[in-house]
Amino acid sequence: MKNLLLVLISLFTFTLNLVAQEIDTIPIPTKDLDIKLKRSPLPSRTGTILFKPVTFTPAVVNAKINYWKTRTQVGLNVNQASFSNNWNGGGVNSIAIGGLVNYKAEYSKESYSYSSEVILQYGKVKNKDQLQKKTNDRIFWDNKAAVQISKNWYFFGSVSFESQFDKGFAYSRDASGTEQERLLSKFMSPGYLTESFGFEYKPDKFFSTRIGTGTARQTFVLDTTIYKTNANNFGVERGKRVRNELAFSIVSNFEKEVFKNVTLRTKYNMFIPYDNFGHIDHRLDVAIISKINRFMNVSLSGVGLYDRDTDEKIQGSQTLALGLAFSFPR
């Protein structure tokens, strides 16, 4: 009797498990539903698609990538004044002429760049019954090669040369009023050759700063008789022709069109000798150039210089010019 009861309980438990495991679905009758399938818009007919190869003649473009960018500027300024003998307003007959050549070439490919810039300036003025005098005189040539190491930083090496074309004089008058001149400088007296390497920061196209951690400068005075009329002799020991210096240097450049047809150019140079940190040389060049038309412009330029090897005080020069200007390429 007990065995029969256990069998019945087992059968009842098995039946309950089967009911619990049924799929939880609700059957939906579709006999009376009006279900219509839309016809496919694609053609039902099949066929063979023929592919015919088409031959294209390659077009050869004879083009070369130019990694060089050059710019040349030539300027000429002339100023003349004359007065009759009975001109009561006073004045002196004079004529002044000045010229400028600025050439810059830049090469850029991937992370490597190279630039070379030449600046040539010369001007003279002649007043009646006076000696001729220079108004401008400079030779400057700068070469720089750089390799990009990050977005705005470069490792660079540079070589620059600077001197002048003509003799430079200081003028005075003797007891009789006659004008006299005293020789101060001439070509390669002085002349400067500067080699530098370090890091350059260039966040955009119009501003850059070179930090020359290793800089060497040679000062040349090839005419050893200059010291007789120029006591400082540009820091070169009397009787010698060359002076060598190792230094830390900073060179900053800014050039941008600040207003329409008005360009501002500045260049700052700092030179700190390693053997004399208290003897720091500074030079600041500033030029504002306003373009009048295609061939004429007005320029206002100035130079501030502090160099104890030439003078204990700050030296300055300023030039205002109206003249012709030609740029290539236009």
Class at the top of the CATH hierarchy for domain 68-328 = mainly beta
More reliable by pLDDT, 82 or 22: 82
pTM of the model: 0.79
Residues 243-302: tens digit of each pLDDT? 999 999 999 999 999 999 999 999 999 999 998 888 899 999 999 999 998 889 999 999
Residue carrying structure tokens 């005293």:
182
| Predicted pLDDT at 84 | 80
- 8 Å CB contact between 172 and 182: yes
DSSP assignment of 230-292 equals -TTGGGPPTT-SEEEEEEEEEEEEEEEEEETTEEEEEEEEEEEETT-TT--EEEEEEEEEEE-
In this predicted structure, the answer to whether residue 160 has a pLDDT above a threshold of 80 is: yes
Average pLDDT in the chain:
87
| Predicted pLDDT at 175 | 85
